[in-house]
């Protein structure tokens, strides 16, 4: 993919790819988060009609963005070019209704005033794993004891190709997204990089979503954490507040958590504005960093090696298929 060092050339490169996108399937849609996930192909090869994972397959996420009220309230904001004397002068409306004092309509706002209204993410070429991850699917409940972790989950994690987390290594080595880094502690044992998550447009503080990616490469997930990692975890908790200040988000507005199971087995901590709901914070996946630290510090240094962890898996995911083959049940 193109380097992100130049935002304008990146958006031109993304647009050039999207211009070739041919829709094959709506993988999923979520009305509450106003998001749709599309599967299609990109390219002109012989296989244009057939989705070939890892080759021509592309997954596009389309998400309607929140109204950028910060920009309206603060006309000096850098990405706001407010030329209109009135917020709604350039508003185009259709299908309006009125009843007594109530009126409503749909239409298009002025993006110069309200900022961009859609966020597009592209994974290309998308692997089967990417496609499965975004496709609506049945979910199955897993109760993972330490024994089952060792016999089923851990071998699966160890078999993951390093290429799955190439994007992580690109960030850590400053090959990609270097200019997006908000905070770095370069320490090899306790250091990390904090930058905006790809799901966030880095504009609207109300939906702030950052990710802290640790420098060390030996921590795959929550299961690997012991008291030896408390300095690292405390360091992230401390410095997340400094990183969030960049967007005017105060320490007591932060929600920090680790996913189990994560999609990528290189330890990272999600850092979001606590007002952001519904984004990966379900109890079957999100483990709050404060609680993780307390469990290790106050309950047992090897808490995450001893505890049973429960979570839901999509029935199309490789990890569920792997569990199903061990349990002898059908996926």
Q: Which is nearer to ligand M7G, 21 or 167 (CB)?
A: 167
Q: Which is nearer to ligand M7G, 263 or 325 (CB)?
A: 263
Q: Which is nearer to ligand M7G, 80 or 210 (CB)?
A: 210
Structure tokens at 263: 């999609």
Among 198, 197, 201, 224, residue whose Cα is nearest residue 212: 197
Q: Is 117 in the site for ligand M7G (CB under 6 A)?
A: no
Instruction: Point out which residues pair with 185 in neighbouring strands.
Output: 192
Q: Which is nearer to ligand M7G, 226 or 263 (CB)?
A: 263
Other CB atoms closer than 10 Å to residue 110's CB: what's the count? 18
Minimum distance from residue 280 beta carbon to ligand M7G (Å): 5
Task: Check if the beta carbon of residue 293 is closer than 8 Å to that of residue 234.
Answer: yes
Other CB atoms closer than 10 Å to residue 9's CB: what's the count? 12
Other CB atoms closer than 10 Å to residue 75's CB: what's the count? 10
Q: Which is nearer to ligand M7G, 276 or 293 (CB)?
A: 276
Angle at 263 between CA 261 and CA 264, to 5 degrees: 110
Please state, in angstroms and rounded to a whole number, the distance separating the CA atoms of residues 65 and 83: 21
Q: Is 268 a catalytic residue?
A: yes
Please state, in angstroms and rounded to a whole number, the distance separating the CA atoms of residues 218 and 226: 13
Q: Which is nearer to ligand M7G, 21 or 169 (CB)?
A: 169
Among 75, 109, 114, 116, residue whose Cα is nearest residue 92: 109
Minimum distance from residue 300 beta carbon to ligand M7G (Å): 24
Structure tokens at 203: 């504009």
Please state, in angstroms and rounded to a whole number, the distance separating the CA atoms of residues 116 and 80: 10
Among 53, 125, 191, 280, binds ligand M7G (CB under 6 A): 280
Provide Rg for the chain, Cα atoms: 22
Q: Is 21 in the site for ligand M7G (CB under 6 A)?
A: no
Residues 185 to 224: which contact ligand M7G by CB under 6 A?
Answer: 195, 197-199, 211
Minimum distance from residue 259 beta carbon to ligand M7G (Å): 3
Please state, in angstroms and rounded to a whole number, the distance separating the CA atoms of residues 133 and 313: 10
Q: Is 125 in the site for ligand M7G (CB under 6 A)?
A: no
From 229, 259, 268, 270, the catalytic residue? 268
Minimum distance from residue 86 beta carbon to ligand M7G (Å): 37
Minimum distance from residue 201 beta carbon to ligand M7G (Å): 12
Minimum distance from residue 328 beta carbon to ligand M7G (Å): 28
Residues 129 to 158: which contact ligand M7G by CB under 6 A?
Answer: none
Q: Is 239 in the site for ligand M7G (CB under 6 A)?
A: no
Residue written as token pair 């992230």:
236
Q: Is 169 in the site for ligand M7G (CB under 6 A)?
A: no
Q: Is 262 in the site for ligand M7G (CB under 6 A)?
A: yes
Minimum distance from residue 10 beta carbon to ligand M7G (Å): 12
Stretch that binds ligand M7G, among 33-41, 223-231, 235-243, 258-266 (CB under 6 A): 258-266
Q: Which is nearer to ligand M7G, 199 or 255 (CB)?
A: 199
Report DSSP letters for 234-259, one per residue: HHHHHHHHHHHHTTT--GGGEEEEEE
Q: Is 287 in the site for ligand M7G (CB under 6 A)?
A: no
Residue 291 phi/psi, 5-degree rounding, is -70, -40
Task: Point out the residues that are catalytic.
Answer: 268
Residues of this chain that interact with ligand M7G (CB under 6 A) are 167, 177, 195, 197-199, 211, 259, 262-264, 268, 270, 280
């Amino acid at each position: 993919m193109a380097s992100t060092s130049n935002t304008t050339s990146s958006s031109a490169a993304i647009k050039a790819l999207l211009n070739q996108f041919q829709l094959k399937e709506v993988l999923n849609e979520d009305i509450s988060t106003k998001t749709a996930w599309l599967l299609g192909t990109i390219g002109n090869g012989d296989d244009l009609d057939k989705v070939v994972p890892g080759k021509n397959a592309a997954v596009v996420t389309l998400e309607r963005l929140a109204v950028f009220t910060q920009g309206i309230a603060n006309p000096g904001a850098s990405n706001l070019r407010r030329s209109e004397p009135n917020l709604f002068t350039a508003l185009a409306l259709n299908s309006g209704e009125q009843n007594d004092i109530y009126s409503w309509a749909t239409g298009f706002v002025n993006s110069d005033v309200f900022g961009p209204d859609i966020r597009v993410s592209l994974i290309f070429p998308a692997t089967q794993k990417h496609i499965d991850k975004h496709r609506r699917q049945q979910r199955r409940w897993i109760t993972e004891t330490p024994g089952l972790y060792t016999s089923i989950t851990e071998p699966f994690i160890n078999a993951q190709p390093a290429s799955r987390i190439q994007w992580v290594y690109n960030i850590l080595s400053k090959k990609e997204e270097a200019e997006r880094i908000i905070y770095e502690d370069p320490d090899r044992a306790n250091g990390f990089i904090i930058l905006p998550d790809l799901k966030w447009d880095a504009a609207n503080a109300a939906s702030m979503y950052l990710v802290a990616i640790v420098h060390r490469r030996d921590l795959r997930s929550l299961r690997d954490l012991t008291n030896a990692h408390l300095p690292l975890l405390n360091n992230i908790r401390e410095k997340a507040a400094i990183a969030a200040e960049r967007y005017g988000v105060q320490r007591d507005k932060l929600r920090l958590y680790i996913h189990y199971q994560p999609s990528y087995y290189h330890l990272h901590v999600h850092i979001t504005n606590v007002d952001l709901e519904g984004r990966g914070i379900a109890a079957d996946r999100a483990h709050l960093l404060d609680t993780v630290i307390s469990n290790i510090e106050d309950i047992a240094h090897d808490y995450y090696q001893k505890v049973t962890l429960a979570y839901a898996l999509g029935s199309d995911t490789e990890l569920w298929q792997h569990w199903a083959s061990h349990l002898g049940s059908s996926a």
